[in-house]
Amino acid sequence: MTERLDARSARIERSLERTLTSPHADVEFDSIRDRWPSEYVRGHLFLALVDAVGTDIADPFPAAVSLELSYLQALVHGRILEDVSPSGRTAREDDRAILSGDYLQARAFERLGRLDAPAPLVAQCFSVLTRASIRTHEGQFEGRQFSAVASPEDGGVIRFDHTAPAVLGGAAARLAGVLGGLEGATLDRLEEGGAAFGWTLATEATTGNAAVARPRDSLDGTIADIVDSCPEAASPGLHRKLRRIAARVCEERACVKPGSRP
3-state secondary structure of 144: helix
Read out DSSP for 84-116?
--TTS--SS-HHHHHHHHHHHHHHHHHHHTT--
**C-alpha span between 71 and 76 (Å, rounded):** 9
> How many of the other CB atoms lie within 10 Å of CB of 98?
13
pTM of the full predicted structure?
0.81
Domain boundaries, the chain: 2-253
Alpha helices per DSSP H over 37-162: 41-53, 61-82, 94-112, 119-147
Helices 94-112 and 119-147: crossing angle in degrees, nearest 10, is: 160
b/e 129-164 (16+ beta carbons within 10 angstroms → b): beebbebbbebbeebeeebeeeeeeeeeebebbbbb
**C-alpha span between 20 and 219 (Å, rounded):** 33
> How many of the other CB atoms lie within 10 Å of CB of 203?
18
**C-alpha span between 189 and 167 (Å, rounded):** 14
DSSP state of 59: -
**C-alpha span between 72 and 13 (Å, rounded):** 12
Q: CB pairs under 8 A, 24+ apart, for 12-19?
A: 12/40, 12/43, 12/64, 12/65, 12/68, 13/38, 13/40, 15/65, 15/111, 16/65, 16/68, 16/69, 16/72, 19/69, 19/104, 19/107, 19/111
End-to-end alpha carbon distance in the chain: 20
Determine contact, residues 91/83, Cβ cutoff 8 Å.
Answer: yes
> One digit per residue, pLDDT tens: the chain, 262 residues?
667 778 888 888 788 777 776 666 665 555 555 555 557 889 999 999 999 999 999 999 999 999 999 988 888 777 666 655 444 545 545 677 777 788 888 989 999 999 999 999 999 999 999 999 999 888 766 655 544 444 434 443 334 456 888 899 999 999 999 999 999 999 999 999 999 998 888 776 555 444 444 445 567 888 888 998 887 666 678 888 898 888 877 665 544 444 444 4
| pLDDT at residue 62 in the model | 93
**C-alpha span between 20 and 26 (Å, rounded):** 7
Determine contact, residues 76/27, Cβ cutoff 8 Å.
Answer: yes
| pLDDT at residue 147 in the model | 44
Q: Name the class of domain 2-253.
A: mainly alpha
